[in-house]
Amino acid sequence: MTDQPILYMDDAIRPYRSMSRQGLLVILGVLLAFNLLITVFLFAIGAFPAPIFLGVDFVGVLIAFHVSNRRAKVGQRVQVTHDEVRVIRERADGAATLWTSPTAFTRVEIEKDDGRVCRVRLRLRNRSMALAAALGPAEQAEFAARLQAAMRTALAERHA
Protein backbone atom coordinates (compact mmCIF):
# COMPACT_ATOMS: atom_id res chain seq x y z
CA MET A 1 0.00 0.00 0.00
CA THR A 2 1.44 3.36 -1.02
CA ASP A 3 1.07 6.36 1.22
CA GLN A 4 -0.36 9.18 -0.86
CA PRO A 5 0.43 12.61 0.61
CA ILE A 6 -2.51 14.73 1.72
CA LEU A 7 -3.44 17.33 -0.87
CA TYR A 8 -4.12 20.66 0.81
CA MET A 9 -4.92 22.16 -2.57
CA ASP A 10 -5.67 20.56 -5.92
CA ASP A 11 -7.00 23.26 -8.26
CA ALA A 12 -7.39 23.00 -12.02
CA ILE A 13 -7.24 26.29 -13.93
CA ARG A 14 -8.69 26.35 -17.41
CA PRO A 15 -9.48 29.22 -19.77
CA TYR A 16 -13.17 30.10 -19.92
CA ARG A 17 -14.85 29.62 -23.28
CA SER A 18 -18.46 30.74 -23.46
CA MET A 19 -19.36 29.30 -26.87
CA SER A 20 -20.63 25.76 -27.07
CA ARG A 21 -19.95 23.46 -30.02
CA GLN A 22 -23.51 24.00 -31.24
CA GLY A 23 -23.04 27.79 -31.05
CA LEU A 24 -19.83 27.50 -33.03
CA LEU A 25 -21.59 25.49 -35.75
CA VAL A 26 -24.37 28.09 -35.95
CA ILE A 27 -21.88 30.96 -36.31
CA LEU A 28 -19.92 29.09 -38.98
CA GLY A 29 -23.14 28.16 -40.82
CA VAL A 30 -24.34 31.78 -40.87
CA LEU A 31 -20.92 32.98 -42.08
CA LEU A 32 -20.83 30.29 -44.78
CA ALA A 33 -24.37 31.15 -45.97
CA PHE A 34 -23.52 34.85 -46.07
CA ASN A 35 -20.29 34.19 -48.00
CA LEU A 36 -22.14 31.96 -50.50
CA LEU A 37 -24.80 34.63 -51.02
CA ILE A 38 -22.15 37.27 -51.70
CA THR A 39 -20.28 34.83 -53.97
CA VAL A 40 -23.40 34.26 -56.11
CA PHE A 41 -23.85 38.04 -56.41
CA LEU A 42 -20.20 38.58 -57.35
CA PHE A 43 -20.36 35.84 -60.01
CA ALA A 44 -23.55 37.44 -61.38
CA ILE A 45 -21.85 40.81 -61.88
CA GLY A 46 -18.72 39.23 -63.32
CA ALA A 47 -16.30 39.69 -60.42
CA PHE A 48 -14.83 36.21 -60.66
CA PRO A 49 -11.63 36.65 -58.56
CA ALA A 50 -13.41 38.28 -55.59
CA PRO A 51 -15.07 35.08 -54.18
CA ILE A 52 -11.60 33.61 -53.63
CA PHE A 53 -11.11 36.15 -50.85
CA LEU A 54 -14.40 35.12 -49.24
CA GLY A 55 -13.11 31.54 -49.16
CA VAL A 56 -9.82 32.66 -47.63
CA ASP A 57 -11.80 34.68 -45.06
CA PHE A 58 -13.86 31.62 -44.09
CA VAL A 59 -10.75 29.42 -43.80
CA GLY A 60 -9.15 32.09 -41.59
CA VAL A 61 -12.16 32.06 -39.25
CA LEU A 62 -12.03 28.23 -39.11
CA ILE A 63 -8.34 28.33 -38.18
CA ALA A 64 -8.94 30.98 -35.50
CA PHE A 65 -11.72 28.95 -33.87
CA HIS A 66 -9.62 25.78 -34.06
CA VAL A 67 -6.70 27.48 -32.27
CA SER A 68 -9.06 28.94 -29.66
CA ASN A 69 -10.64 25.54 -28.95
CA ARG A 70 -7.22 23.87 -28.62
CA ARG A 71 -6.09 26.52 -26.14
CA ALA A 72 -9.24 25.95 -24.10
CA LYS A 73 -8.14 22.36 -23.50
CA VAL A 74 -4.79 23.39 -22.00
CA GLY A 75 -4.83 24.08 -18.27
CA GLN A 76 -2.76 24.16 -15.14
CA ARG A 77 -3.22 22.02 -12.05
CA VAL A 78 -1.74 23.36 -8.82
CA GLN A 79 -1.20 20.87 -6.01
CA VAL A 80 0.05 21.57 -2.49
CA THR A 81 1.21 18.85 -0.11
CA HIS A 82 3.17 19.23 3.11
CA ASP A 83 6.37 18.44 1.15
CA GLU A 84 5.97 20.25 -2.15
CA VAL A 85 4.12 22.64 -4.41
CA ARG A 86 3.58 21.19 -7.88
CA VAL A 87 2.28 22.81 -11.07
CA ILE A 88 1.22 20.47 -13.85
CA ARG A 89 0.28 21.48 -17.40
CA GLU A 90 -2.66 19.39 -18.56
CA ARG A 91 -3.42 18.92 -22.24
CA ALA A 92 -5.55 16.53 -24.22
CA ASP A 93 -2.45 14.49 -25.10
CA GLY A 94 -1.15 14.19 -21.53
CA ALA A 95 0.23 16.06 -18.56
CA ALA A 96 3.68 17.43 -17.76
CA THR A 97 5.06 18.76 -14.49
CA LEU A 98 6.24 22.34 -14.95
CA TRP A 99 7.22 23.24 -11.39
CA THR A 100 8.12 21.42 -8.20
CA SER A 101 9.42 23.11 -5.08
CA PRO A 102 9.46 22.54 -1.33
CA THR A 103 6.40 24.03 0.36
CA ALA A 104 8.49 25.48 3.19
CA PHE A 105 10.64 27.61 0.90
CA THR A 106 8.13 28.60 -1.79
CA ARG A 107 6.52 32.04 -1.71
CA VAL A 108 3.41 33.30 -3.45
CA GLU A 109 3.91 36.73 -5.00
CA ILE A 110 1.02 38.90 -6.08
CA GLU A 111 1.80 41.69 -8.53
CA LYS A 112 -0.76 44.49 -8.64
CA ASP A 113 -1.43 47.22 -11.15
CA ASP A 114 -3.76 50.05 -10.09
CA GLY A 115 -4.83 47.99 -7.07
CA ARG A 116 -5.91 45.03 -9.20
CA VAL A 117 -4.12 41.70 -9.31
CA CYS A 118 -2.34 41.33 -12.63
CA ARG A 119 -0.10 38.35 -11.94
CA VAL A 120 0.27 35.57 -9.39
CA ARG A 121 3.70 33.94 -9.18
CA LEU A 122 5.36 31.13 -7.30
CA ARG A 123 8.90 32.05 -6.28
CA LEU A 124 11.77 29.93 -4.99
CA ARG A 125 15.03 31.87 -4.70
CA ASN A 126 15.78 33.03 -8.25
CA ARG A 127 13.13 30.84 -9.94
CA SER A 128 9.60 32.00 -10.54
CA MET A 129 6.54 30.86 -12.42
CA ALA A 130 3.36 32.74 -13.35
CA LEU A 131 0.09 31.06 -12.41
CA ALA A 132 -3.59 31.51 -13.18
CA ALA A 133 -3.11 33.72 -16.25
CA ALA A 134 -6.44 32.43 -17.60
CA LEU A 135 -8.32 33.94 -14.65
CA GLY A 136 -9.59 37.49 -14.24
CA PRO A 137 -8.17 39.84 -11.57
CA ALA A 138 -10.78 39.00 -8.90
CA GLU A 139 -10.42 35.27 -9.53
CA GLN A 140 -6.61 35.56 -9.41
CA ALA A 141 -6.83 37.29 -6.01
CA GLU A 142 -9.12 34.53 -4.72
CA PHE A 143 -6.83 31.84 -6.13
CA ALA A 144 -3.74 33.47 -4.55
CA ALA A 145 -5.47 33.65 -1.17
CA ARG A 146 -6.47 29.95 -1.38
CA LEU A 147 -2.94 28.99 -2.40
CA GLN A 148 -1.36 30.92 0.47
CA ALA A 149 -3.86 29.42 2.94
CA ALA A 150 -3.18 25.88 1.66
CA MET A 151 0.57 26.39 2.00
CA ARG A 152 0.19 27.77 5.56
CA THR A 153 -2.05 24.84 6.54
CA ALA A 154 0.35 22.30 5.04
CA LEU A 155 3.29 23.81 6.90
CA ALA A 156 1.37 24.11 10.18
CA GLU A 157 0.29 20.47 10.08
CA ARG A 158 3.75 19.33 9.08
CA HIS A 159 5.34 21.00 12.10
CA ALA A 160 2.55 20.19 14.53
Domain tally for the chain? 2
Count other C-beta atoms under 10 Å from residue 46's C-beta. 7
* One domain for residues 68 and 86: no
> Per the domain annotation, does 1 fall within a domain?
no
> Per the domain annotation, does 46 fall within a domain?
yes
Q: What is the pTM of this model?
A: 0.72
Q: What confidence tier does 28 reach under pLDDT thresholds 50, 70, 90?
A: very high
Helix 50-72 to helix 21-44 angle (10° resolution) is 170
* One domain for residues 50 and 98: no
* One domain for residues 65 and 80: no
Residues 6+ apart with CB under 8 A from 10: 77, 78, 79, 80
CATH number, domain with residue 107: 2.30.29.30
Which of 19, 8, 11 lies closest to 132, judged by CA? 11
* One domain for residues 95 and 152: yes
Q: What confidence tier does 2 reach under pLDDT thresholds 50, 70, 90?
A: low
> Per the domain annotation, does 4 fall within a domain?
no
* One domain for residues 79 and 152: yes
* One domain for residues 43 and 88: no
Half-sphere exposure of 102 (CA within 13 A, CB side): 4
As to burial, measured by CB atoms within 10 angstroms (0-12 exposed, 13-18 middle, 19+ buried), residue 28 is: middle
Expressed as residue numbers, the domain containing 113 is: 9-14+75-158
Tens-digit pLDDT profile for residues 97-119: 889 999 999 999 988 887 777 78
* One domain for residues 63 and 101: no
> Per the domain annotation, does 2 fall within a domain?
no
* Residue-averaged pLDDT of the chain: 88
* One domain for residues 60 and 135: no
* One domain for residues 104 and 150: yes
* One domain for residues 68 and 87: no
Tens-digit pLDDT profile for residues 64-85: 998 888 887 888 999 999 899 9
Residue 97 has a pLDDT of: 85
User: In whole angstroms, what is the distance from residue 156 CA to residue 160 CA?
Assistant: 6
Q: What confidence tier does 148 reach under pLDDT thresholds 50, 70, 90?
A: very high
Mean pLDDT of 49-69: 90
> Per the domain annotation, does 53 fall within a domain?
yes
